[in-house]
């Protein structure tokens, strides 16, 4: 609990120099067995525990990777504060069967991949993040303590990222949007959405499709939208020029979108959502308004989060290899740190269409 013993204490007790103490732990073979034992005994007796900070400082590396998962998207969406997007604590006494909407999300599965790869290579993972309700940690605090940093898009201001990337490798888990000097890990968004859209058209005969996305979509969502458009064009169907969203001024929420779609009086045959977290509450909102899903309108997602399987009807989606993405990101960071000369990498992983009930397919 208090100030612990240091190399000096151990050295003194063992009757050797501090260098020998250090060697004993880092390069045991370079130390004579008898002295090694003496040092170990002294360390044992004193409850010696080396300071990670001091080691990191002296060695110029920390043996840790960092990940920052603050979710700006939902942060910007006060209207969803009680919905799926909120990364806050589940309200006490809430339905123990309903909290799967909050965890695990996309970021959590990716993070797990990062952690696994870290451990495999002997690194630890430092995670920072938060949101409006939980509070947050500063990225600077974590950037200063790790050998590499993984971030989700729209999580940290670009200037800050490029600042950090001048010191340690940084990988962003998204399509490279602007010409940054960061590494990137992403998936084939366009192809995935194209395949899914084509399925809706050919297997379910849908003709009137819309793409639903948050009002301010980022690059990955844009690519998904392009894939959607391309599939419609190829099928000779009308191609929406832009995604449907919650209407200006209206609060950004599934409720608002559902209401808008119904008020317009022109509900499409299918609503292709930019991602699962957008589709799930939308399905709820439609159902609540008496709209049959998928009977009247099919709704699909993108990501493949666990909640989609617990949803009724089960969510048809495009699954990202989240764990693999995390692993890849970690691998890039570690390699990038150990060989400072590597140029920015950009890796794209494949996706997989997962057919479940919400598009009209039979239950699995």
Query: Binding to its own copies (CB under 8 A): which residues in 200-259?
Result: none
Q: Output 199 or 327, the one with its CB closest to its own copies.
A: 327
Instruction: With contacts defined by CB under 7 A, name the span among 29-37, 226-234, 252-260, 279-287 that binds DNA.
Output: 29-37
Out of 27, 32, 34, 166, the only residue in the binding site for its own copies (CB under 8 A) is 166
Q: Output 206 or 283, the one with its CB closest to its own copies.
A: 283
Q: Which does 30 bind (CB under 5 to 8 A by kind): its own copies, DNA, none?
A: DNA
* Cβ atoms of 334 and 171 closer than 8 Å: no
Helix (H) or strand (E) holding 319: strand 317-319
User: What is the Cα Rg of the chain in Å?
Assistant: 25
Q: Output 143 or 286, the one with its CB closest to its own copies.
A: 143
Q: Output 160 or 291, the one with its CB closest to DNA.
A: 160
Q: Output 7 or 110, the one with its CB closest to DNA.
A: 7
Out of 41, 45, 59, 234, the only residue in the binding site for DNA (CB under 7 A) is 59
Out of 6, 35, 112, 346, the only residue in the binding site for its own copies (CB under 8 A) is 112
Q: Give CA torsion, residues 113, 116, 119, 120, to 10 deg.
A: -110
- As a whole number of angstroms, the distance between CA 40 and CA 25 comes to 9
- As a whole number of angstroms, the distance between CA 272 and CA 195 comes to 12
* Cβ atoms of 329 and 173 closer than 8 Å: yes
Q: Which does 6 bind (CB under 5 to 8 A by kind): DNA, its own copies, none?
A: DNA
Residues numbered 282-321 forming contacts with its own copies, rule: CB under 8 A: 304, 306, 309-310, 319
* Cβ atoms of 338 and 132 closer than 8 Å: no
One-letter-per-residue 3-state SS of 121-180: CCCEEEEECEECCCEECCHHHHHCCCCCEEECCCCCCHHHHHHHHCCCCEEECCCCCCCC
As a 3-state breakdown, the chain gives helix, strand, coil percent values, each rounded to 5, of: 45, 15, 45
Q: Contact between 107 and its own copies (CB under 8 A)? A: no
Q: Output 123 or 211, the one with its CB closest to its own copies.
A: 123
Out of 7, 39, 142, 231, the only residue in the binding site for its own copies (CB under 8 A) is 142
Site of interaction with DNA (CB under 7 A): 3-4, 6-8, 15-23, 25-26, 30-32, 34-36, 48-51, 54-55, 57-60
């Amino acid at each position: 609990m208090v100030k612990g013993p240091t190399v000096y204490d151990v050295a003194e007790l063992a009757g050797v120099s501090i260098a020998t103490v250090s060697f004993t732990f880092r390069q045991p073979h370079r130390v004579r067995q008898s002295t090694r034992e003496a040092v170990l005994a002294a360390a044992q007796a004193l409850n010696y525990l080396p300071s990670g900070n001091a080691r990191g400082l002296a060695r110029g590396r920390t043996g840790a990777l960092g990940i920052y998962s603050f979710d700006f998207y939902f942060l910007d969406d006060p209207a969803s504060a009680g919905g799926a997007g909120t990364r806050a604590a589940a309200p006490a006494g809430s339905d123990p069967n309903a909290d799967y909407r909050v965890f695990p999300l996309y970021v959590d599965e990716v993070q797990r991949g990062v952690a696994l790869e870290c451990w495999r290579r002997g690194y630890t993972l430092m995670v920072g993040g938060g949101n409006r309700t939980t509070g947050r940690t500063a990225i600077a605090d974590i950037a200063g303590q790790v050998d590499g940093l993984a971030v989700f898009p729209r999580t940290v201001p670009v200037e800050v990222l490029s600042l950090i990337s001048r010191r340690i490798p940084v990988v962003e888990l998204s399509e490279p949007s602007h010409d940054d000097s960061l590494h990137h890990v992403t998936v084939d968004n366009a192809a995935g959405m194209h395949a899914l859209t084509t399925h809706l058209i050919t297997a379910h005969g849908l003709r009137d499709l819309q793409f639903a996305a948050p009002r301010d979509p980022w690059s990955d969502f844009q690519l998904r939208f392009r894939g959607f458009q391309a599939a419609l064009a190829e099928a000779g169907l009308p191609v929406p020029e832009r995604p449907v969203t919650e209407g200006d001024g209206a609060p950004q929420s599934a409720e608002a979108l559902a209401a808008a779609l119904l008020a317009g009086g022109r509900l499409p045959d299918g609503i292709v959502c930019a991602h699962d977290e957008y589709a799930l509450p939308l399905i709820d909102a439609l159902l609540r308004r008496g709209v049959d899903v998928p009977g009247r309108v099919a709704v699909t997602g993108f990501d493949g989060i666990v909640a989609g399987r617990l949803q009724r009807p089960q969510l048809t989606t495009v699954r990202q290899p989240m764990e693999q993405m995390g692993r890849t990101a970690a691998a890039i960071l570690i390699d990038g740190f150990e060989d400072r000369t590597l140029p920015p990498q950009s890796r794209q992983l494949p996706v997989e269409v997962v057919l479940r009930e919400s598009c009209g397919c039979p239950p699995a």
